[in-house]
Structure 1
Amino acid sequence: MILILISPRNAGLPFARWLGEERGRLLAVTADGVDPGPGFLAVERVADYTDDTAVHDAVRRLRAHHDVTRVLALAEVDVERAAGLREELGLPGQRPESARAYRDKVLMKEYARAGGIRVPAFAPVHDEAEVLAFMAAHPGPVVVKPRDGSGSTGVAVLHRPEDARAVAERVRSGGHEAEEFVTGRFCHVDALHVGGEFVVSVPSVYTDGGCLSHWTDSGNGSWTLEAGDPLHARLVEETRRLVTALPPAPALFVHAEFFVTEAEEIILCEIAGRVGGTPIPAMLNAVLGLDPRELWSRIECGLPVDLEAVADRARSAPLVANFGLPPRNGRITRVPGQPPAGTQDFTVLARAGDDWGGARYRDRKSGDFVATWLVTARTEGELLARVAKSEAEAEAGFGWESAAEVSR
């Protein structure tokens, strides 16, 4: 039977449809209050899904009554959990050595550097003194972030030595790294790697600000590169070299991020061993002809997939852009009544009355949006013009009451 670890952020995904052959035989571990949907034979829930011990105990309760033959995990928080379970049960798929390298940003850069990949200067940091020492050795802005974070959570950009005080407490809690700030175009490559070969690689460019745009309440997204763009082939090759440099797995769906400097040098930001977060799946769906999470789920669970058809579809797909509007510090008073002209898959992810103030706003991730959508075109110029127009229309459709106004 297939065991699925379902993070609350993945609640509502149609696993029973994606894994139709196994409908009625699926097992799940998820959080209290989460409905995994139809098709599950047994479900175990935990009060705190961030508690590794609780999740593993829930798995053991399921194993006491059911034979687990595959483990599926789509969320970043579950990558290492799933790998550990496969190791423990002797099941196919990514194992802990590989999973850790795709999560630990220090370890992944060590592997990448050893494999000839250009990486920023970096170092693990455990206290304010180590942050200050790194800043002294590397003049200019410095990034401090969790070694196993995702969605830009916990990321800080330090410009002056006194800025280090703001991150001192979190750094002392463990698991952080410092790295030099790299300027340039911010790109990502989403690629499926099966049996030692790349089935498909989709290079894209983030809009200005990339994953940090939400810090300024700015919308952000990315668009697929034209096949004839010289950067397209270079990013595909760099991703191939990067995956080769890291510990292998039988199959991987990776989301790699790179900086491309003014001198056209490609520098690694980081790579994740999972499908990219919202709204990238919708963009890849338009490129591949099916949801990449469905594609990856079937491969991970040993179910048949026509990989040749997926590759053919990707080669003939139009240019696609994804875009999303982040929440603001306040309460939503109005949501758009209709999609902006020329958009596809326009999805409003909030309701009038939703409050994004306080801790919710402070803890927001780069993948938290109030609306997402797609735009397609045959040329880059046309695509970006449509993105700009749709952003303005979508933004105008929302009304916000600021946190200060809400608290009065």
Structure 2
Amino acid sequence: MTVVILHPPGRSLPPYPEWLAGVATDLVLVTGPATAAGAGYADVLSIVDYETSARVETAVLDIAERTDLTAIVAVGVLDQIRAGGLRDHLGLPGPGRDTAIGLVDGVRAAGLLADAGVPSLPRGRVRRAVDLYWYAHRWGCPLRIRSRRVAGWPTVVVLHDRDELRAFTEGGLPANQEVMPSLMAEPVVAGERHRGVFALDGDRARAMDKYPDAHTFTELAGGALSAVDAMAGWPHHVEAVSSDEGEWLVETISCDPTPATPGADFLLCAVVRAQVGQLPALARVV
């Protein structure tokens, strides 16, 4: 039984062998050339152009031809899409490519939430400068611009008024937005926030700790994970914000935490183990 781990270069290496002890005979790490792997791997494949080439995919296909490949682990947002496509092709368990895109792309996720009737922040893709003026007209200022294809959808800039909007768009948007849009816009909601690490248990999420309005937030998180078609048990960090009217809105969903994400180690370990069938039974409020 072989488990392949896709790990992007430049990112600190989690203790995969420790987290996956007892669930695989061999761990094969596919990564960039600068990663110091350490012990616990049956093989380490260094791909020079890891982030831009199809050599990662062909390496995994070669492994599948030679061994009994049972699972693919990927935590980086782009690698989750890669892994989804490979699972589709090889017939392996876990989220496929379409599911991965829904979880990774902020605009796609927002659309899935809206279609499912889950209360969430409205979002729109940004292809041209005029899009920002339309969103400012529709939602008003301040306006938050996020990276739509980066873990946690980090904030690029908050435009507090039309003057800041004009200054931001004067030099034009980053190149290739019309071909490969990487920005999205949303209104700024400055209400109370709750966040938690959740995994679906059947068709609902459960939380281990109690805190104000826990039931509402827990049900909201369960609905959000169902809406984005997450695999049962697939853990995510969900953050919700209270609107001026007191309604809880899903703001972000992520299964690729940054070090600053509350509960990052807990979530990352749960994400890795979920991909080899070790599904967590409960969620944790952080």
The two structures have a TM-score, normalised by structure 1, of 0.61
Whole-Å Cα distance in 1 between the matches of residues 114 and 146 of structure 2?
19
1:276 aligns with 2:267: no
Indicate conservation of the 8 Å contact 1:97/1:247, yes or no. no
1:105 Cα deviation (Å)?
1.2
Indicate conservation of the 8 Å contact 1:93/1:250, yes or no. no
Q: CA RMSD in A?
A: 2.8
Indicate conservation of the 8 Å contact 1:111/1:245, yes or no. yes
Q: Quick one: which of 165, 174, 185 aligns to 1:178?
A: 185
1:191 aligns with 2:198: yes
Cα distance change of structure 1 residues 87 and 168 upon mapping to structure 2, 3 Å threshold: same
1:254 aligns with 2:260: no
Cα distance change of structure 1 residues 42 and 232 upon mapping to structure 2, 3 Å threshold: same
Identify the residue that residue 5 of structure 2 maps to in structure 1: 4
1:88 aligns with 2:95: no
1:43 Cα deviation (Å)?
1.8
Whole-Å Cα distance in 2 between the matches of residues 192 and 275 of structure 1?
14
Q: Spell out the pairing of 1:9-408 with structure 2 (5 A cutoff).
A: 10-21=11-22, 25-51=26-52, 53-151=54-152, 153=154, 155-159=156-160, 160=162, 161-162=165-166, 163-165=168-170, 168-170=173-175, 171-172=177-178, 174-194=181-201, 196=203, 198=205, 200-201=206-207, 227=210, 229-272=211-254, 274=255, 276-280=257-261, 283=263, 291-303=266-278, 307=281
Whole-Å Cα distance in 1 between the matches of residues 195 and 247 of structure 2?
15
The runs of 4+ residues in structure 1 deviating greater than 6 Å are none
1:305-355 deviations in Å (ceiling 9; x for gaps): 784xx67xx6xxxx97xxxxxxxxxxxxxxxxxxxxxxxxxxxxxxxxxxx
Cα distance change of structure 1 residues 262 and 123 upon mapping to structure 2, 3 Å threshold: closer
Unaligned runs of 5+ in 2: none
Write 1 or 2 for the structure with the bigger share of helix.
Answer: 1
One-letter code aligned to 2:214: H
Whole-Å Cα distance in 2 between the matches of residues 106 and 306 of structure 1?
28
The two structures have a TM-score, normalised by structure 2, of 0.84
Cα distance change of structure 1 residues 30 and 194 upon mapping to structure 2, 3 Å threshold: farther
Whole-Å Cα distance in 1 between the matches of residues 196 and 30 of structure 2?
30
Indicate conservation of the 8 Å contact 1:94/1:250, yes or no. no
Indicate conservation of the 8 Å contact 1:28/1:40, yes or no. yes
Identity value in percent: 22
Whole-Å Cα distance in 1 between the matches of residues 106 and 77 of structure 2?
13
Equivalent residue of 2:22, what SS? helix
Indicate conservation of the 8 Å contact 2:9/2:33, yes or no. no
Whole-Å Cα distance in 2 between the matches of residues 46 and 154 of structure 1?
30
Which one has a bigger Cα radius of gyration?
A: 1
Indicate conservation of the 8 Å contact 2:236/2:267, yes or no. no
Cα distance change of structure 1 residues 125 and 12 upon mapping to structure 2, 3 Å threshold: closer
Whole-Å Cα distance in 1 between the matches of residues 24 and 87 of structure 2?
21
Greater relative contact order (Cα 8 A, min sep 6): structure 1 or 2?
A: 2
Whole-Å Cα distance in 1 between the matches of residues 93 and 58 of structure 2?
21
Equivalent residue of 2:69, what SS? coil
One-letter code aligned to 1:300: Q
Whole-Å Cα distance in 1 between the matches of residues 187 and 19 of structure 2?
41
1:352-396 deviations in Å (ceiling 9; x for gaps): xxxxxxxxxxxxxxxxxxxxxxxxxxxxxxxxxxxxxxxxxxxxx
Indicate conservation of the 8 Å contact 1:102/1:271, yes or no. yes
1:117-154 deviations in Å (ceiling 9; x for gaps): 22333222211122222222322111222321225546
